[in-house]
Structures are given as structure tokens and as C-alpha cells.
């Protein structure tokens, strides 16, 4: 795997943006591997992801952010991020009692499917400690009650900072995060909701789906915002069900959707392929 | 195609129901072609569809309803319907200005894919008259205003009765039917809604889907009840979209979903494979 | 969970088969929970699965097979199996070097999603022993060479018999089983093939799919027969790909298909919902 | 709808290609609406589609091809095409006896979903003439026999040229085109094959699918090449089936797939979003 750099950009749309960025890379001897751009005409906003090889690139990796800002970014009022493929993203996993998403994530990391670090698994319950131990990953318990929630979340935030966490995955974590927690990690917390949002927001979506008599069920991965189940959607998928399926069948079938839809979101996050803007995502997959 | 009879049954669940029905058919020399049954354990309700060959059956076709009721149906508090394959269902189509579902339905009838009669196309606008004329089907205009709605619907109901209509298809008909109209045709009016219900109920679902930033869009065919977009769902399907798709793309992609999801519902209806119960459907497909 | 019995039947089609079976259950006070039947008109063959509650059933569970045969089965030239829900199926897993299917299966068993025993994991390589150890399941190595294949397979067959194995799952097991091995477990070995069969039979299907430029890839679970990749198909699914996806992407995306398509087949097997006949399956899902 | 130009490019990969093209557009005051690029690293080939607004662009529309070639194209050994949104593509439809794809295409054109001209419908049978007449499109019969095939195809080729046809759609046209015909329209003939290729090549794929007992069926749209069913795939889709479905059901279900998969290919062709290269397609959808 060659070392690469990735630029994620968005800014007000105008003529010449792609030319400006690609010219910057070309002049400095950067070989573009992939380039995706999108213009939201309603919002008048330009989005771009470009990845290029670092070998032979004239600007040192650690200086790209500064040079790009000085030469291009500021001129076009861009917001941008630089990511280097050499740095493994650091992901914290929050769980409660259900193991299917957790196992699925750990298997992908252990088998080398994903290049990602997991410095910690956080839970509000002891139930899944044995899995963390099997995979030799630190497991930290923060039991949450109404009384201690603010304090516990503060400790969690500190732990995330201490461990230099890039993003948090809620792998069927059954606690609602406070606005303060969410504000501390803007577009850095990925949740899996067990319905095709916006249908069946809130608790017990499979029960609601059963009662409504739908013929498909779904799952949705999204960034967590202060509004519950209203954050920018990253990925969704569905599967057909029938009148034969009980609520227990829906829960069982749904687990497979949850695993896959969450895993795809994490994969996109690791590849830096998601650009959230307002309440939507641009996904350069 | 051999001539067959179809029994659709539902009743309180108890032991021996399948045995009773199949024994009735067997004793009278009925050769079962297909049999499906379902028990809703929550509701304690039994559902069954059985189709058998009429050739050699001891009871004359026109007497099956009476004999079955006397010998079996009343004993088990059943609700049942008898359908004969020899009788083509009579379907009325209601349209407004969009042609994609109408063309799709007419093509299926004309090419012999469906065995169904279309005695009339009803509309509140003149726009699609030319299609009815091309296909040589009577086209009746009932312009609807707030002032004349009750009266016009009454005339529509009379037309349906006069033409001996079995069921009505709303092929993107952009008028909300009154409770009185709906009550006149219980579980006999099939609508196509352009979202995966219960998401995006009401008007302009593609706009809502675009604004929410979903990654799949869908369509839902359902029986019309007094509660708008809340009737028993017959069929749903979805298709993936991305940030690249504009509202116009969603509308275009959605039309393909609407056509197919409506057509599947009509096909199931023609085959007498749907058993609505309370707010759900048993679909023996 | 109430205790139930399941009958799987197939026989030459004739009038009165459903009546005969349901009457047998009804007379002996069996409460039918689910009943599915199918007639293959081309083959003139009747298929049925019926499940009923054992509580209150007049015939003792261990005598059902005998009584059914004497009273019904022999009369209609039926082939039948009786399964009791109280007995957990015993499944052996064969693996080589890839862990994704194995983890997925183990997670489902450990979390209680499936009621199944795993007396052994068999492999031709040491690589996945650590997983078996983490889950505390016996791991048996049978290294296969051309020279020792017949002998090693014989030892495997003996192990299967000793452990009273009901069915074998090839979870990306990269050895072709000999005809003798296959003959020892007819319709008892489930394989996952990483293409939508019959496309891309044989080795390296993702490479072939990439080279052919297909827009969907798939996976197929099937019973293993003497003809490689030609056995009765149990389940298939696909996912869209694009020109952007490399062979490595196809392999990665395909793993998710493989896991799910294999898991669905195992679930159906555990529920005794599959009736293989000639080279096809009747799946009463 | 603003007037736009579209450039489709492919050439040997090297550094600076995106920069060169976007710089060309930027210098001449072209506002890029969408830009997609792809590098096939195995083949060392670069692919690009860029669309920009003509309003304010310094180079007259009819001179773009020449200027681009002189200034950029020749320098990088590019193959390129320029398309102007103001010109409606001219499509010929070839049919035999089945009407579902033809109706579907005509409905899309008539309703304004597609901006495309249909100067002629060609057939080897009289059966569908009434549809052409209903839609007031010229219908030309070329009955094909072994004896007259070469001659008839030559007359078809002349008709295509006379009518200035851009591309030909085989809407379930049941004649195999000769190599000479195919050579006359390289990557300009789109076929719909009723299976998920490469499975079930050749005649009667639904019968083959039924006999193999697959659990999904599919359809494939592709460019026609001299090798039957081997041309570059544009689009594929599938639908689940079960043991209940007869061959007639497969044919019926398959028609819906055929319509949609063919329509998507035509839509992509009209938008100039397909770049065929060797035996694959780059689809910038």
C-alpha cells in the first residue's frame, strides 16, 4: 500500500475550484489516485475529496495542511481536512448488552479487513466484558443513572481525549447521549438505528414495524446530533419481511442489517469518504 | 388453464381448522392446487387460502359458497370468500395527470399478462384522455371542487356499482377520497404512495426524502382507509439513491418503483392472494 | 418455547394428501402451528412441512415416526422425517484460513440467536485455532495432501459419526470434498460459494466477476453434491458494485454477502425448513 | 435547463490529466457542473466525464471538439467525444413480438421523462405495428430469413445512417445480429438479456434458471459485440424468487426487471454517462 494523503473540502461554489485544487497538486508533483466532487446547487456549496500519492510530492506530509490553507483554502473560504493514510484512525466502541455489532466490528479489525485502532470499549453494563477480554481490548464501565449521567459523561469525554479518539461508534449502545456529550464530538459519533429512518424513530422500532405491518424493515447509520435519530444519514439498507415474521423474527433479521449498515458507515469513515454538511452527508463511495 | 375455485378464510384460531377445510375438499373430490395458512398468535386468528380444481368437484361452482358456509364456515365462525378463476376481476382505474402507472397497467392487460377487465378509467382532469382513447377504454371525467366533491363522489360510486367493479386502483390519483367513498369500498381501493410508509406520509414525499437526506427511497401500495396513508400495506420496495440525486432524479427513479409496486399489488389482488385483517395484510404470494 | 414436532414429507402427488396428514394430527389432538405445502406439477411431487405442539398430543414423541409411517406414510409412498424441537441440531464447522464466516456463526450461537450445538471445528490449517480456543470449542486439524486425502477424510467421517453430527457447514473451507465424503452425508453438507451461481463456478469467482465487468456480485449457499458448485441452492443474495471497485473491494464486499447467505442457510437448516429434491430445494421460509 | 457541453475522455494514465482538462475549461470561463474521473490501475487508463455550462464559455459550441483536440487531447493521446445537451439523441428501437419494453420506452419518451428522438421502430414481425401506430412512430418491417439476412441487415444499416441514428436499442429483439451489423455500430447497440449474465447465456434463460433452482433471477443490459451475450455490461438487477414460482412466473417477474434494467441503460446513454473500454463499462451515474 502506497502512502497517500486525502483532502476533504467544502466551500461556497464558484468557477475554477477543481482547477485550483488539481493545479496545486499537479504543480507539486502529486499523482492523483481518486477525485470526487459534488455541487449542491440548492445550497450553492462545493464538495470535494481528492487522494494522491505522497511519494515524490514536494510538500512534506506534515506541512500539507498549512501550505494548502495558505495557497488555496483561505482564498476560496474553504473548510478542509487533511488525512494521511499512514495514520490509523482511533475508534472507541460504546456497547450495552447486545453483542452482534461488537463481534462483527472486532472480527473485521482482527482479520485485517479494516486498518483501525480500538483503544477502548466503553459500556454501561458488565455483560460484554468477556468479549473485550477475548479480544484483549480495554473495557471501561461507566454505569449511567439519572443522578450521575452528567458526571459519567464528563469522565467519558476525558477518556476519549486522553486516548486521542478520532470517532466513536455506538454499537447498539442503549443510552441517549446528552447534548453536551454530542457537542464535544461533532460528526464524530456514529450510531446504528434499527429502522429505515425517518420511519420508526425512538424506542422499539421493530415492535412499531410489526404493528404497522410493513413489508420491509431497515437499518440506518448516522452521525449523532442533539436531535435524537435526526442526524445526517450515512447509510441505509432494508430487507423484505412477510406476515409470517414475528417480532422475534424482525429482531433477528434486523441484526444482520444493523451489522452490515454500521460496518459500511465505519468503513466509509475510516476511508475519509464522508462529508457531512448541515443535516446530510456527501458520501464519495 | 384449468378452472379453479379459491377460498379465502379467516376465523378465530382453534385445533382442526386445516383438517376441516381439506377434508371438505377431499370428500367432494377437489384436487388441491395450493394451500397456504397462517396463524396470528397475538390476535388468535387463523387465515387460509386454498385453491382447487373444479373439474370433477362434486359441488357446482355456484353452490360452493352456500355448501361451504353450511357445512364448515358457520361452525367455526369463519369469514370467507369464494372466487372462481373463470370470472375476470373488474378493475376501475383512477388517474390525474401522470401517465407512468396507467401505461404500465394497460400494457400488462393488453399483452395478456393479467386476466382482468377495465370497464372504465376515471379522472378529475382531461390530461390522460388520449391514452384511454388509444387503448379504447371508456374515460369518465369527474372534476372535483370543494363544493361538488360529495356529489361527484356519489356519482362515481354509482358508476362503480353500475359497472360491477370489484376493485379500484388509484394510479397516482391526486385527490383524497372522502370517508364516505372509502366506506363504500372497504379493502377494495388500492393506492400507490410514493414513499416507504410510514416515512414521508402526506404530500410531496420525494421533497421530504431529499431534505432528510435518506439513502434509499421507496414506494408503498396499500388499501385505502379513512386514515390517510395508514391503510393495510400490500407491498413495498426501495431503491438506493445518493447525494448526487436531485429531487427531479428522485421523482424519476421513484416512478419506476411506483409502477412495479402498484403492479405487484394488483397482481396479488387479481390472484386473490391478499387477506386484509385489521390494519395489516396476509399476502400468500 | 413450547415443545413441538416437525414433519417433513415428500411423495408422489395425489388428491387428499393434506387432508390425510392434517386429519392424522387432528385425531390425535395435535395443534398445528404452521403448515406449508407445495406441489411440483412438472415432477408430480408433493412436499409438506407441518409443525405442531407436542403438549396434549396423543402419540409419544419417540413413537411419532413409527405411528406416522404405519398409518399414513407407507400408504402414500411418502419419504418423511420427524424432528423434535427439544433436540438441538449438532453442527460441525469446517474452515481453512478465513475467519469472517466462522466468527459470524459463533457469535450467533453464543448470543443465543441459534439453538445449535457445535461439537467440533475442523480445519486443514492451524490458522484459526485461536478462535476456537477463544470460544472454547474443540478444534481438530486434518491436514490434507494428495497422498493422504482419502485417509484423512475417512478419519473425518468417523469423527462426524462419533460426535453424532447432523450437518456440516463449510465456512469457506478451501478443500474439495471427495465423492466418498459427500456420499457419506447426502444433503447434510452446506457450502457457501462466493458468486451468484451458476455464474463464476470454480476458483477465484471475484477475479472472474471483476474481469467480466458485472454490476452485481453475489453469494450462494447450497448443499454439496459430487458435482462441484452444482448442488441444490438454498439461498442467494447479491450486492451492487461499480467500476470503482477493485478486486480487493469485491472480496471485502463479498465477505458480507457470504456471512449472511451462509447464516440464512444454517438458520433454515436448524428450523428444518429445507426439503431438497433432486437438484433443487423447497424452502418453507 | 441551461445548455451544457459534455466531454467524455479516456487516455493512458499520467500525472496532471484532471488539472489539464479543468484548467482548459477554467481559462475559457466554463462553469463545471459535474466532474467524474476514474483510473483503472490494472489497465493504466484514465477516464473522465465533465459537464459544463455553455453560457459564457469562450469557445463556440461547434468548435469545442477542434479546440480541445488541438490544445489538450492530442497532447495526452486522448480519445474523446463532445456532446451538446441541446441535441436530442436519436434512438432506433428494434422489436419482435413482446411489447413490455417497447411500451415502457415509449411512455418515458411521450411523458417527457427522456429527451430523445425515435425516428423509427424496426421489427422482423408485424405484431407490434399497432403500438407504433398508436404512438405515431414509423414502423419498418425487415423480415429475416437465413437466405435474406445479409441483405436485410444491409438495408437496416442504410436506414440507420439515413435517419442519423445515434444508438440502437434491442427491446427484446429476437434475432441475432451478424458481425457485420455489429461492426457498423460499435458500442452503439444496447441489448437487454433476460438473465444476470454471465449466468444463463443464450436462449431460454428463464427455463435454465428454473431448472437450476436459483433463488434470484436477473436481467442485464449491455452493448452488443460480435460475441453473443459477452458485450460490456451497462446495468444489472435481480429479484428474489422461490420454489413456488413456475417458469411462467419467472417470465412475468423477469419482464419487470427487463423493462427497468433496459430503461436505466438508455437513460445513462442519453446522459452520455457510459464509457465503454475493452469489455467493461465505466458508468458515471
Do both B125 and B71 map to the same domain? no
Contacts of D99 in chain B (CB under 8 A): 107, 110-111
For helices B247-270 and D247-270, what crossing angle results, to 10°? 170
DSSP secondary structure letters along C142-197: ----TTTHHHHHHHHHHHHHHTT-SEEEESS--SPPPHHHHHHSTT-EEEEESSST
Asked if C35 and C173 sit in the same domain, the reply is no
Q: Is D202 exposed, middle or buried (0-12, 13-18, 19+ CB in 10 A)?
A: exposed
Do C100 and C77 reside in the same domain of the chain?
no
Q: How far apart are CA D269 and CA D93, in angstroms?
A: 14
> Which of B7, B12, B13, B19 to mutate to probe the C interface, most C CBs <10 Å?
B19
Cβ neighbourhood burial of B84 (10 Å; 0-12, 13-18, 19+): middle
What integer is the mean pLDDT of A147-162?
A: 97
Q: What is the pLDDT of residue D112?
A: 94
Rounded Cα–Cα distance for residues C238 and C253 (Å): 10
Chain C nearest C-alpha distance from A111 (Å): 7
Identify all chain C residues contacting D257, using CB atoms and an 8 Å cutoff.
Answer: none
- Give the range of the structural domain holding residue A201, as residue numbers without chain letter: 90-283
Q: Is A261 in the same domain as A126?
A: yes
Query: Tens digits of per-residue pLDDT, B141-190?
Result: 999 999 999 999 999 999 999 999 999 999 999 999 999 999 999 999 99
Q: How many domains does chain A have?
A: 2
ipTM over 0.90: yes
Between the alpha carbon of residue C211 and those of residues A52, D278, D283, the distances in Å are 26, 11, 16
Q: What is the CATH number of the domain that holds D114?
A: 3.40.50.170
Strands A45-53 and A4-12: what pairing?
Answer: antiparallel
Respond yes or no on whether the N-terminal peptide bond of residue D198 is cis (omega within 30° of 0): yes
Task: Check whether residue C77 and residue C105 sit in a common domain.
Answer: no
**Chain A neighbors (3+ CB pairs < 8 Å):** B, C, D
Whether B64 and B116 map to the same domain: the answer is no
Task: Read off the pLDDT of residues D111-121 as tens digits, 9 standing for 90 and up.
Answer: 999 999 999 99
* pLDDT range class, residue D42, cuts 50, 70, 90: confident
Residue-wise pLDDT tens digits, D13-25 = 999 999 999 999 9
**Span C181-229, pLDDT tens digits:** 999 999 999 999 999 999 999 999 999 999 999 999 999 999 999 998 9
My answer on whether C192 and C77 are in the same domain is no
pLDDT at D20: 96
% of chain C beyond a pLDDT of 70: 100
Q: Which of B2, B16, B39, B46 to mutate to test the interface with C (most CBs of C within 10 A)?
A: B16
Whether B68 and B43 map to the same domain: the answer is yes
Which DSSP string do the residues of D166-222 spell out, in sequence order?
SEEEESS--SPPPHHHHHHSTT-EEEEESSSTTTT-SS-HHHHHHHHT-SEEEEEEE
State whether D111 and B98 contact (CB < 8 Å). yes
Contact criterion met (CB below 8 Å) for D231 and D224: yes
Which chain B residue shows the shortest CA-CA distance from D109? B100
Contact B212, B133 (CB under 8 A): no
Which of C98, C103, C256 is nearest residue A103 as measured by Cβ atoms?
A: C103
Answer yes or no: do D173 and D245 share one domain: yes
Convert the pLDDT of each residue in A193-202 to its tens digit: 999 999 999 9
Same domain, A52 and A114: no
For the domain that residue D10 is a member of, what is the CATH number? 3.30.70.260
The beta-carbon neighbor of B199 closest among A40, A199, A243 is A199
8 A C-beta contact, residue A89 and residue A126: no
**What is the enclosing helix (H) or strand (E) of B32?**
strand B31-40
Give Cα D66 to chain centroid, integer Å: 26
| Backbone phi, psi, residue C33, to 5° | -95, -45
- B42 CB neighbour count, 10 Å cutoff: 10
How confident is residue B42, by pLDDT bands cut at 50, 70 and 90? confident
D5: how many CB neighbours lie within 10 A of its CB?
Answer: 23
Answer yes or no: do A216 and B200 touch at CB < 8 A.
no
Q: Please provide residue C118's backbone torsions phi and psi, each rounded to the nearest 5 degrees.
A: -120, 90
Lowest-confidence segment of A206-215, C34-43, D88-97 by average pLDDT: C34-43
The last residue of one of the domains, among C64, C84, C104, is: C84
Answer yes or no: do B135 and B270 share one domain: yes
Which of A84, A107, A136 is a domain's end point?
Answer: A84
Which of B41, B215, B281 is closest, CB to CB, to A243?
Answer: B281
- What is the pLDDT averaged over residues A258-267? 98
Using an 8 Å CB-CB cutoff, list chain D residues near C235. 215
| CA dist., res. A51 & res. A82, Å (int) | 10
What is the residue-averaged pLDDT of chain A? Answer: 96
Whole-number pLDDT of residue D1: 67
What's the confidence (pLDDT) of residue B1? 67
User: Among residues A28, A58, A84, which one ends one of the domains?
Assistant: A84
Segment A98-140, tens digit of pLDDT? 999 999 999 999 999 999 999 999 999 999 999 999 999 999 9
Whether the Cβ atoms of residue D81 and residue D89 lie closer than 8 Å to each other? no
Q: Are B263 and B104 in contact (CB under 8 A)?
A: yes
Torsion of CA D49, D54, D56, D57, to 10 degrees: 50
Which residue of the set D229, D245, D249, D256 is catalytic?
A: D229
For D168-208, what is each residue's pLDDT tens digit? 999 999 999 999 999 999 999 999 999 999 999 999 999 99
Residue pair A17/A45 in contact (Cβ under 8 Å)? The answer is no
Set of chain D residues whose Cβ sits within 8 Å of the Cβ of C41: 246
Question: Do the chains contact at C99 and A110, CB–CB below 8 Å?
Answer: yes
Residue C14 near residue C76 (C-beta atoms within 8 A):
yes
Cα distances (angstroms) measured from residue C215 to each of A127, A260, C212, C272, D222: 42, 20, 9, 34, 11
Interchain CB distance below 8 Å, C18 and B32: yes
Minimal C-alpha gap between D178 and chain C (Å): 23
**Interchain pair A19, D22: CB under 8 A:** yes
- Per-residue model confidence as pLDDT tens digits over A1-48: 689 999 999 999 999 999 999 999 999 999 999 999 999 988 999 999
| Residues D1, D7: Cα–Cα separation, whole Å | 18
Disruptive mutation site among A32, A54, A238 for chain D (greatest number of D CBs within 10 Å): A32
Residues of D in CB contact (< 8 Å) with A are 15-16, 18-19, 22-23, 25-26, 29-39, 240
State the count of interchain CB pairs (< 8 A) between B and D.
37
Mean pLDDT of chain D: 96
CA A241 to chain centre: 28
Query: With an 8 Å Cβ cutoff, are D33 and A39 in contact?
Result: yes
Residues A170 and A187 in one domain: yes
Helices A247-270 and A205-212: crossing angle in degrees, nearest 10, is 130
Amino acid at each position: 500500500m502506497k502512502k497517500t494523503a486525502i483532502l476533504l473540502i467544502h466551500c461556497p461554489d464558484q468557477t475554477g475550484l477543481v482547477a485550483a485544487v488539481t493545479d496545486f497538486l499537479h504543480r507539486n508533483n502529486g499523482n492523483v489516485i481518486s477525485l470526487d466532487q459534488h455541487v449542491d446547487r440548492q445550497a450553492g456549496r462545493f464538495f470535494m475529496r481528492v487522494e494522491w500519492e505522497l511519494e515524490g510530492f514536494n510538500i512534506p506530509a506534515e506541512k500539507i495542511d498549512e501550505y494548502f490553507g495558505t495557497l488555496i483554502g483561505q482564498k476560496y473560504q474553504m473548510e478542509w481536512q487533511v488525512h494521511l493514510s499512514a495514520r490509523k484512525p482511533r475508534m472507541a466502541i460504546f456497547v450495552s448488552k447486545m453483542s452482534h455489532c461488537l463481534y462483527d466490528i472486532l472480527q473485521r479489525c482482527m482479520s485485517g479487513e479494516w486498518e483501525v485502532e480500538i483503544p477502548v470499549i466503553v459500556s454501561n453494563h458488565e455483560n460484554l466484558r468477556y468479549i473485550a477480554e477475548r479480544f484483549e481490548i480495554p473495557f471501561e464501565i461507566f454505569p449511567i443513572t439519572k443522578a450521575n449521567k452528567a458526571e459519567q459523561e464528563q469522565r467519558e469525554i476525558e477518556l476519549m481525549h486522553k486516548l486521542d479518539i478520532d470517532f466513536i461508534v455506538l454499537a447498539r449502545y442503549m443510552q441517549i447521549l446528552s447534548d453536551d456529550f454530542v457537542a464535544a464530538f461533532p460528526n464524530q459519533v456514529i450510531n446504528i438505528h434499527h429502522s429505515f429512518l425517518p420511519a420508526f424513530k425512538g424506542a422499539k422500532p421493530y415492535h412499531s414495524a410489526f404493528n404497522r405491518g410493513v413489508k420491509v424493515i431497515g437499518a440506518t447509520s448516522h452521525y449523532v446530533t442533539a436531535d435524537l435519530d435526526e442526524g445526517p444519514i450515512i447509510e441505509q439498507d432494508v430487507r423484505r419481511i412477510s406476515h409470517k415474521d414475528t417480532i422475534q423474527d424482525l429482531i433477528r433479521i434486523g441484526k444482520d442489517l444493523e451489522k452490515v449498515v454500521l460496518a459500511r458507515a465505519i468503513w466509509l469513515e475510516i476511508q475519509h469518504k464522508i462529508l457531512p454538511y448541515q443535516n446530510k452527508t456527501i458520501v464519495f463511495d
